[in-house]
Amino acid sequence: MSERSGAWLQVRGLSKHFGGANALSAVDVDIHRGEVHGLVGANGAGKSTFIKCLACITTPDEGTVSLDGEPLALGNPHTPEDAGFAFIHQELNLVPHFDAIQNILLGVPKPRKAGFTQWRQARAMAIAAAERIGVDFPLNRRVDELTVAQRWLVMIGKALVRNASLVVMDEPTASLSAVESDALFRIIRDLSRSGVAILYVSHRLDEVLDLSDRITVFRDGRVTKRADRGELDKAGLIQAIVGRAVPSSARSVRAEIDRTTPLFEARNVRRLPMVKDVSFTLFPGEVLGLGGLVGAGRTETARLAFHADKLESGSFLLEGTELKARGVADAVKAGIALIPEERRSEGLILEKSVQFNMSLAALEHLRALAGLPFLSAAKQKTRTLEMIRALSIKTTGPSQAVGRLSGGNQQKALIARWLIPGIKVVFFDEPSRGVDIGARQEIHQAIRDLAERGIGTIVISSDVEELAMLCDRVVVLREGEVSGEAVGDEITEQAIIQLSYAPVHEAEGGTR
């Protein structure tokens, strides 16, 4: 599988393990001077780890990266700068209240004379870099007044003023319009022609196929495909991303769901930029999966349903009537719960006890006398112990700080928080992220138990296998819109991934 040698940038045998999992195993990648190199793969395929290794944010366990035959010192934070690598992430690390020129020049060694910075010369450098990419906005404008597309140009200008020879772009078009994207593609092609290599990381396969001179596909931390321009079409690319369909032996037996009266509905829900138009229906006792790529708007949709963010338009219906909640507290009162993906920062109060964390949403039910706001210590403790037993949470007891539990047990403690009377719909955002296999099964069991009690559950997961195992039905989002749906045996990894990548209009009706 090795490539012919002689490439400008050669990555050989790059491996990285996190805990027991291989994020990267013996990856070889060649990048030629001045080429546009597409890098694709599903969530968790190892793309980000690969980029982090190049950026020396992560130190690989094994492997080398060499430039013109010279091995680079990986793990040294100065290496990327010295080698001429520039990284443009989606977050665009710019200083908001600096103007474009200041941002372009930030951290660049500036010409000096007798100890004084030659600002005029430095500005000329920045202006030259900006002209190279055809910047058409005033460079003295503050960055926070620029559009996202213009900020991208500033970031590229930053790379050019440092004489970067490789620019890594992570999902550059994720928040650009079609016209802006086209402009960016022109710039990318110009850069490539002038000898700057581009590593183009994107989920948008059409773009990758269109732009790239060569494409590398990652799956499960390995390179599964290398292709020159024209060798692959979109179907072939998807095939390489998905690989063989995993046998779905682990699938649970699905209960027959009565799909006559909806429990919860989203109708044309919208909050830009992430959620454009999402509609779905959830039935009582159903486990509904919300699939799609990272950035497809799944978490944002759940937060809208939970009223943690405000809707721009559209509505949610609970048991047939419109949900008029002014905030999370009202949504909870109506019977909606959300277990967030970021459980340590958005779910738990780490220094506080297991009991404290579990009781937080149940306080009204733990009063000594109904109606009076006095808590019963005994009721709190009894409930906590019951939950610890029911969810087999591994803890030294109700008074242990929740931050000391393992990821899986923290997740179970959060589930316990919401096992309260009156809850009708529970959103799980990446319920088994950072959780070991055993705990994952127990969490899945807890979700199914909820469903059996008639509660509607919505599971957001980037782990396609998890969706296929757990869900009765999966709705797939792509770029803030529903791209399709799969029910029962239609739920395969292949189907979900295809929907995740499919343009919205093509998929509508096509897969059902």
Q: Among residues 212 and 357, whose Cβ is nearest to other proteins? A: 357
Under 8 Å between Cβ of 415 and 337: no
Residue range at the interface with other proteins (CB under 8 A); choices 230-238, 280-288, 339-347, 439-447: 339-347
Which residues between 226 and 255 bind other proteins (CB under 8 A)? Answer: none
Among 253, 260, 345, 369, contact with other proteins (rule: CB under 8 A): 345
With CA atoms as reference, report the closest residue to 147 among 136, 132, 159: 136
DSSP 305-357: HTTSS--SEEEEEETTEE---SSHHHHHHHTEEEE-S-IIIII--TTSBHHHH
Q: Does 61 bind other proteins (CB under 8 A)?
A: yes
Among 340, 398, 456, 484, contact with other proteins (rule: CB under 8 A): 340
Q: Does 317 bind other proteins (CB under 8 A)?
A: no
Among 108, 246, 360, 390, contact with other proteins (rule: CB under 8 A): 360
Specify the DSSP class assigned to residue 147: -
Q: Label residue 479 left, alpha or beta by phi (over 0 means left) and psi (-120 to 50 means alpha).
A: left
Residue range at the interface with other proteins (CB under 8 A); choices 62-70, 146-154, 185-193, 221-229: 62-70
Under 8 Å between Cβ of 454 and 362: no
| Closest distance to other proteins from the beta carbon of 94 (Å) | 25
Q: Does 60 bind other proteins (CB under 8 A)?
A: yes
With CA atoms as reference, report the closest residue to 149 among 110, 128, 180: 180
Q: Does 384 bind other proteins (CB under 8 A)?
A: no
User: What span, in angstroms and rounded, lies between the C-alpha atoms of 25 and 13?
Assistant: 7
The CA distances from residue 132 to 82, 185, 237, 336, 458, in Å, are 22, 14, 33, 53, 49
Site string for other proteins, 400-439 (x = CB under 8 A): -----------------x----------------------
How far apart, in Å, do the first and last CA atoms of the chain sit? Answer: 38
Cis before 77 (ω within 30): no
Helix axes 377-390, 407-417, angle to 10 degrees: 130
Among 259, 333, 453, 512, contact with other proteins (rule: CB under 8 A): 333
Among 92, 148, 294, 350, contact with other proteins (rule: CB under 8 A): 350
Q: Which residues pair with 270 in a beta bridge?
A: 313
Among 106, 128, 245, 363, contact with other proteins (rule: CB under 8 A): 363
Kindly determine how many residues on this chain lie close enough to bind other proteins according to the rule CB under 8 A.
Answer: 47
Q: Among residues 261 and 345, whose Cβ is nearest to other proteins? A: 345
Q: Does 68 bind other proteins (CB under 8 A)?
A: no
With CA atoms as reference, report the closest residue to 108 among 56, 58, 143, 157: 157
Residue range at the interface with other proteins (CB under 8 A); choices 40-48, 289-297, 333-341, 488-496: 333-341
Among 29, 338, 443, 468, contact with other proteins (rule: CB under 8 A): 338
Q: Among residues 246 and 328, whose Cβ is nearest to other proteins? A: 328
Residues contributing to the site for other proteins (CB under 8 A): 2, 5, 10, 12-13, 28, 59-64, 71, 73-76, 306, 308, 327-329, 331-333, 338, 340, 345-352, 356, 359-361, 363-364, 367, 373-375, 377, 417
